[in-house]
Amino acid sequence: MGLFKTENCPICNKPTGALAKSSAKYNGLFVCQSCAKKLTANGILLIRLNKYSLDELQKITGTSKEDIQKHLTEVSSFQATKKVGNFIHFDDVNNKFAVPHTSITGAVNDLQIFDYSDLLDFELIEDGNSISKGGVGRALVGGALFGSVGAIVGGSTGHKQKSTCSKLQVKITLNNIKKPTVYINFIETETPKDGFVYKQLYGQAQEILSLLEVVTHSNTSSTVASSNNVSAADEILKLKHLLNIGVISQDEFDAKKKQLLGL
Ligand SMILES: [Zn+2]
């Protein structure tokens, strides 16, 4: 896939981009921040790494060769059928989605891969305020299935008056003990809301929410029906729901409906 141009961490062997490198070296190579954190947490002095064998360090960081091989196999078998920038990739064949790790140049150097069935909740957060939420977990908590899916949560009034945004992120909650939450960051520096950059990134964030919504629906409503023979009518019903909860616009709904009906 041409993903791995960067140096690999000498301990976990994962590709390590410029931003993910720690200052510690082992066998002349930079250890990734994730391994460095785990080692420090286990009382290992990073300046003394060379006193330890690779096996010992891998045991401490929980990065066995089998785990690494499994991850690499998973990455190479992931086939993105739909991408929203390098924010999230969907593999509709294997029912998986991936949140890429990108280097400082924006190149993808690793994929965090999750099963569709692990998706619980997702939420768009702007400067700490929840803009919209969706997912099956919330609906079940709320009682009626989908009763509260995608409910638009109003931010504070102060938030609405702000003309800039400093942080825009999608938070995804997963049914995964090792990785219960994953964040996709769209904006990390103060950005004017009336500009092109904000509008484009906000649009991509909304697109991701609607795709995650579709994934949640495919988990809950069509686990029996095979996803290949979902009828146009079913698709339209899903889209209608997305329209109702404000995830997609009337124009987008109309266009998609026409397409599905072959008009
Ligand atoms: Zn590492």
pLDDT tens sequence across 154-165: 444 444 568 999
Residues with CB under 5 A from ligand 1 (ion): 9, 11-12, 32, 35
Measure the CA–CA gap between 163 and 176, rounded to whole angstroms: 37
Residue 146 has pLDDT above 60, yes or no: no
What integer pLDDT is reported at residue 222 of this predicted model?
Answer: 45
> Cβ of 216: how many Cβ atoms within 10 Å?
24
Local structure of 127: helix, strand or coil: coil
Q: What is the pTM of this model?
A: 0.61
Number of domains in the chain: 2
107 part of a folded domain: no
Statement to judge: residues 120 and 51 lie in one domain: no
Whether 29 contacts 22, CB under 8 Å: no
105 vs 127: which has the higher pLDDT? 127
Measure the CA–CA gap between 186 and 88, rounded to whole angstroms: 11
Full residue range of the structural domain in which residue 31 is found: 18-64
pLDDT above 90 as % of the chain: 46
Name which of 35-39, 103-107, 126-130, 229-233 the model is least confident about: 229-233
What integer pLDDT is reported at residue 25 of this predicted model?
Answer: 93
Measure the CA–CA gap between 174 and 139, rounded to whole angstroms: 15
Q: Say how many Å lie between the CA of residue 11 and the centre of ligand 1.
A: 5
81 part of a folded domain: no
Q: Say how many Å lie between the CA of residue 157 and the centre of ligand 1.
A: 43
Q: Say how many Å lie between the CA of residue 86 and the centre of ligand 1.
A: 22
Q: What are the structure tokens assigned to 19, written together?
A: 């931003």
What length is written for the chain?
263
Measure the CA–CA gap between 238 and 225, rounded to whole angstroms: 15
247 part of a folded domain: no
134 part of a folded domain: yes
Give mean pLDDT, residues 69-83: 91
Q: Say how many Å lie between the CA of residue 6 and the centre of ligand 1.
A: 13
What is the tens place of the pLDDT at every residue in 83-114? Answer: 999 999 999 999 999 999 887 777 787 899 99
Residue after which a domain boundary falls, among 43, 64, 85: 64
What integer pLDDT is reported at residue 217 of this predicted model?
Answer: 81
Measure the CA–CA gap between 121 and 172, rounded to whole angstroms: 6
83 part of a folded domain: no
Measure the CA–CA gap between 232 and 79, rounded to whole angstroms: 24
Statement to judge: residues 49 and 146 lie in one domain: no
Q: Say how many Å lie between the CA of residue 70 and the centre of ligand 1.
A: 15
Whether 186 contacts 168, CB under 8 Å: yes
What's the first-to-final CA gap in the chain, in angstroms? Answer: 37
Q: Say how many Å lie between the CA of residue 93 and the centre of ligand 1.
A: 30
Give mean pLDDT, residues 117-123: 92
Phi-psi region at 31: left, alpha or beta (left = phi > 0; alpha = psi -120 to 50): beta
Q: Say how many Å lie between the CA of residue 79 and the centre of ligand 1.
A: 25
Q: Say how many Å lie between the CA of residue 262 and the centre of ligand 1.
A: 50
Q: Say how many Å lie between the CA of residue 61 and the centre of ligand 1.
A: 8
